[in-house]
Structure 1
Amino acid sequence: MDTLSSPLPTQSDTAIISAEDRTYRKVILRILPVLLLCYMAAYLDRVNIGFAKLDMLNDLQFSNTVYALGASIFFWGYFLFEVPSNLLMHRFGARFWIARIMWSWALVSVAVAFTVPLAKFFHLESSTMFYVLRFLLGICEAGFFPGVILYLNYWFPTHRQSRVMSGFLMAMPISLTLGGVLSGWLMNSMQGVHGMAGWQWMLIIEGIPSLIMGAVVLCCLADNIDSAKWLSASEKTMLKANLQTDNTGKASSLRDVFLNPRVWLLVLILLTFNTGFYGLAFWMPSIIKSAGISNSLHIGLLTAIPYTVAVIAMTLNARHSNRTGERRMHAAIPAFIGGVGLILSAYFAANLTLSVLFLSVAASGILSLMPIFWTLPGTVLSGVAAAAGIGMINAIGNLSGFTGSMITAVAENLTGNINNGTYVLAVCLLVSGGLILTIPKSMLGKSAE
C-alpha cells in the first residue's frame, strides 16, 4: 500500500488508542501477576519429582524405569481429564475452578512424600502407590494450563496475546530456575529432620505455595469482563467489542474442533516440541549428575543457568514477534535452535561447561517457542470451541510428557548412557520446527500475508 495515500491518525484516533492501551495495561496488571504466581507454584509441583529422584530411588528401591513410568503416568491422568476440566471451567467460572485445581493438586503432591506409609495402609507395593499418586496428580492438575489460556482468551484479542502469553509463561523458566535451587537446598538442609528424608520435606514444603495461591485466586480474580468490578462500564464495553470483532469467523461449536485440520496441526506441533521440553525438564538434573556433580544443591544451581538464560530469550523473542506481527519464524527458528542445542549438549556431555552452555541454548529455543505457539489456538477457535479445543490440544500434546520421560529412560537402559535419549528429543524438536513452517498464513493474521 502506498503510504502517501494512507490517512494519518487523527488526534481522536490517538486518544482512543491510548485509552485502549491503558485499559489493557490495567487488565494485565490485575490478572497477570496472580496467574504467573499460580503457574510458578504449579510447575514447582510438577517437575520437583526430577529432583526427588536423586535420592528417592535409593530410599524406595526404585529403578530408573519405575521412576520414568511414574513421572510420565502423570500425563495419562492429565490427558483424560483435560477437556472435561476446561468445559467445566467454561460453565462454572474460572475463579472457582482454578482454585479447586490448585488445592487438589497440592494435596496429592504432598502425599507423594508419604508413598511408603500410604502403600502399607492400602496394602500395595510402593511402586504401585507411586504410580497411583502420580496418576491422581495428573487428574487434579488437568485443566489448569489450558484453563488459563482459555481465561486469557476471555480478555484479550489474538493480536494482543503474544506479550501476555510470554508474561504468563515466564513463570515456567522462573519456577524451574528458583525451583532447582530451592529443591536442592531443601533436600540437603532438611535431610533427616524428624526422621524424614530431604526429598520428602521438599515435596511437602513445595506444596504449600499452591494452597496459598488457590485462596488468592478466589479473592483477586474475576471470572470474566462483566464480573470485573475494577473496570468501568465504558472499559467493559470496549473490551467486549474488541473480542466480538476478533471472534468473527472463528469456529465456535464442538463439532468444528474435532473436524478442523488446523487444530490437529497444532496438536502435532505441541506433541513434538513438548517431547523435547519434558525430556529436558525431567532429566536435566540427572544429566548434570552424570557429568560428575553429586551435591544436590550444586545440581540445583547448575540447572538454574539454562532456565535463567531462557527467560531472557523468551521475553526478547515474544516482544520482537509482538512488534513485527510475525509469528511463523518466531516459532520455527526457536524449535530448530532447541534441537541443535540438545544435540550439542549430548555430544559434549563429558564437558560440564559446554554441556551446560548447550543446555542453555536448548532451553532458550524451547521456551521461546511456547508463548508464540499459544497465541495460535485463539486464531481458530472461540467460545465453547475454544474451551474444548485448547483443552484437547494441550491434552494430546502433553502425552509428550510420557514420551519425553520414557525416551531417555529407554535409551539409558539400552545403551547405558543417559545422554543418548537426548538425540531423540532433539529430532522431535526439529520435526516440530518443520511442522510450524507448514502453518497456513490465514492462521497467522494479516501480518503473515
Structure 2
Amino acid sequence: MTRSPIASATTPTVAGVDDRYQHVCKKISKRLIGFLFACFVLSFLDRINIGFAGLTMMGDLGLTGTQFGLASTFFYVAYIACGIPSNMALSRIGARRWIGSLMIAWGLASTCTLFATDATSLYLLRILVGVTEAGFLPGVLLYLTFWFPSAYRARANALFMIAMPFTAGFSAALSGLILGLDGIWGLKGWQWLFLLEGLPSVLMGCVVFGYLDDRPQQAKWLDGEEQALLQRALQADRAACTATATQPARSVWRELASPRILLFCLVYFCLVNTLAMIAVWTPLIVKSFNSASSNQAIGFLAAIPQICTIVLMIVWGLHSDRTRERRWHLVLPMLMAAAGWVLTALSSYPAVQLLGVCMAASGSYSAMSIFWTTPDQVLSFSARAVGIAVINAMGNIGSAVNPLVVGWLKDLTSSFSAGFAYAALLLVLGALLALRLPIAPPEPGR
C-alpha cells in the first residue's frame, strides 16, 4: 500500500505523524474555514437574493420570465469572463488583498441593484455584480489547496461549501421577512433586500485585510514546527500528484486545452445547471406549488431543501475522505439529484414535489463538494490557479444558460416541468461523463 505523503515526508512513526497532522489541520480549519464560510455566505447571498427579489420585482419593473432569467444570464456571462483573470491576479497579489477588494466591490455593486428601474438597468447592475464576484469561489478553492492536502480536502470543501445551502435556507427565511418592509422610507421590499444584504459584504471585505494570511509560512498563529510539518505534507502531496500524472511536461495553456480538462469542464457544466436552477428559481418553484402562499411562507418552505443539503454535504464529504473514494461519491449524488427533478416534474402533490427539490438540492451540492477535490489531480502546480478558474468558468456557462432556458420554457409552457426535465437530463449526462474522469483515490493516512 502507498504510504501517506506526510508519513513519507516526516518522522518514521506514521501514527504519531498523523496525530500531529490532524492537530494542525484542525487548527487550520478553526482559523480559516469558519471565516471563509462567513465570506461565502455573503457572496452567495448577494448572488441569489435576486431570486427572492423577483417575487415582487418582476411586477414592479414589468419584467417577463424571460427578461428576469436574462438578468441572471448576464450576471453569469460576466462571472465567466472575469473568473480566469481574477484567479491569475490572486496568485500574484495574494488572497488577503484580492479577496478583501472583491468583497468590497461586489457588496457595493449588489447594494446598487436597488436603483434598477427597468430590464436594461437591471442587466447592467447584474453584470457589475458578476464582474466583481467572479474571482471569489475559484480563488478560495485555489487558496484551500495552499493549506489542505488532497486527502483532507473533501471535508474542508464540504465545510466551506455548505455556505451555499446554508445561505439559500437562511436567505429564504430572511428575504421573505425583508420583503415585508415594503413601503418603509419609500423603498420597495426588494429594494430593502439589496440594501440590507449587500452592505455586510463591504464590511467583511475590510475585515479580510487584517485576518487572512496568504500562505502557511506567513501564519503567526502556527508555530515553526506546525508550519514545517504542513509545508512538508503539501510538498509531498504535490509530488504524489506529479508522480501519478500521465501527461508529459507541457506549457500551461496546452495543458489546459487537453481532453481531460475539457471533460472536467463538461461534467461541471452539467452539474452547475442544477445549482443555478436551485439558486435562482427555488422561491418561484415553491410558489408554483401553491400560488396562494405568502412570501413569508414561501421563504420558510424554500429553506427545507437547504437544511437537507447541509446534512448530506457534511456526511458525504466525511465519508468520501474516510473511504478514500471520489468517483462514486460524485456520480451517485448527481443521479439522486436527477431523480429529484423527475419526481418534482411528474408529481402533482406539493409535499412530493418539495421532496424532489430536496433530493435535487442535496444531491447536486454534495456532488459539487466532491468534484472540487479532483481537478488538481490532473493539473500541474503551475497550471492550478488558471486551471481551477477555467473549469469553474466553463462549467458556469451552465449558470448563464439555465436561467434563460428555464425562463423561456416557463413562458412557453406556463410550468416549470420542462425545466425540471432539462436539468435532470443534464445531470444524467454529467454522471455518465464523470465515470470517465481520471480520478485517483487520495493518499491514505489521514
- Normalised by the shorter chain, which TM-score bucket? over 0.9
User: Aligned residue for 1:281?
Assistant: 279
Deviations 1:364-407 (A, max 9, x none): 11111011100012212243411100001001111111122122
Contact 1:252 1:382 in 2 (8 A): no
Contact 1:87 1:384 in 2 (8 A): no
In structure 1, C-alpha distance between the alignment counterparts of 2:159 and 2:23, rounded to whole Å: 17
Structure 1 segment 79-98 matched on structure 2, within 5 A:
79-98=80-99
Contact 1:86 1:147 in 2 (8 A): yes
In structure 2, C-alpha distance between the alignment counterparts of 1:445 and 1:160, rounded to whole Å: 9
In structure 2, C-alpha distance between the alignment counterparts of 1:253 and 1:309, rounded to whole Å: 43
- Which residue of 178, 181, 184 corresponds with 1:186? 178
User: Which shows bigger deviation, 407-416 or 326-335?
Assistant: 407-416
Q: TM-score, normalised by structure 2?
A: 0.92
User: Aligned residue for 1:120?
Assistant: none
User: Aligned residue for 1:153?
Assistant: 145
Does residue 304 of the first structure (1) align with residue 296 of the second (2)? no
Give the superposition deviation at 1:254: 1.9
User: Aligned residue for 1:333?
Assistant: 332
User: Which shows bigger deviation, 399-408 or 162-171?
Assistant: 399-408
Q: Which amino acid aligns with 2:216?
A: I
Give the superposition deviation at 1:21: 1.1
In structure 2, C-alpha distance between the alignment counterparts of 1:234 and 1:260, rounded to whole Å: 39
- Which residue of 114, 121, 139 corresponds with 2:131? 139
Q: Which amino acid aligns with 1:14?
A: A
Give the superposition deviation at 1:195: 1.0
Give the superposition deviation at 1:445: 4.2
Q: Which amino acid aligns with 1:208?
A: L
User: Aligned residue for 2:107?
Assistant: 106
Paired residue secondary structure (2:148): coil
Give the superposition deviation at 1:413: 2.1
Contact 2:94 2:214 in 1 (8 A): yes
In structure 2, C-alpha distance between the alignment counterparts of 1:15 and 1:244, rounded to whole Å: 19
Q: TM-score, normalised by structure 1?
A: 0.92
In structure 1, C-alpha distance between the alignment counterparts of 2:12 and 2:144, rounded to whole Å: 30
Paired residue secondary structure (1:366): helix
Contact 1:78 1:141 in 2 (8 A): yes
Contact 2:42 2:200 in 1 (8 A): yes
Contact 1:252 1:383 in 2 (8 A): no
Paired residue secondary structure (2:216): coil
Runs of 4+ in structure 1 displaced over 6 angstroms? none
% identical aligned pairs: 36
User: Aligned residue for 1:358?
Assistant: 356
Question: What is the Cα-based RMSD across aligned positions, in Å?
Answer: 1.6
Q: Alignment length, in residue pairs?
A: 427
In structure 1, C-alpha distance between the alignment counterparts of 2:269 and 2:58, rounded to whole Å: 28
Deviations 1:254-275 (A, max 9, x none): 2343233221111111100101
In structure 1, C-alpha distance between the alignment counterparts of 2:164 and 2:318, rounded to whole Å: 17
Give the superposition deviation at 1:16: 2.0
Paired residue secondary structure (2:63): coil
In structure 1, C-alpha distance between the alignment counterparts of 2:202 and 2:424, rounded to whole Å: 36
In structure 2, C-alpha distance between the alignment counterparts of 1:95 and 1:445, rounded to whole Å: 29
Paired residue secondary structure (2:275): helix
User: Which shows bigger deviation, 198-207 or 274-283?
Assistant: 274-283
Does residue 391 of the first structure (1) align with residue 389 of the second (2)? yes
In structure 1, C-alpha distance between the alignment counterparts of 2:200 and 2:255, rounded to whole Å: 35
In structure 1, C-alpha distance between the alignment counterparts of 2:333 and 2:13, rounded to whole Å: 40
Give the superposition deviation at 1:59: 0.7
Contact 2:283 2:299 in 1 (8 A): yes
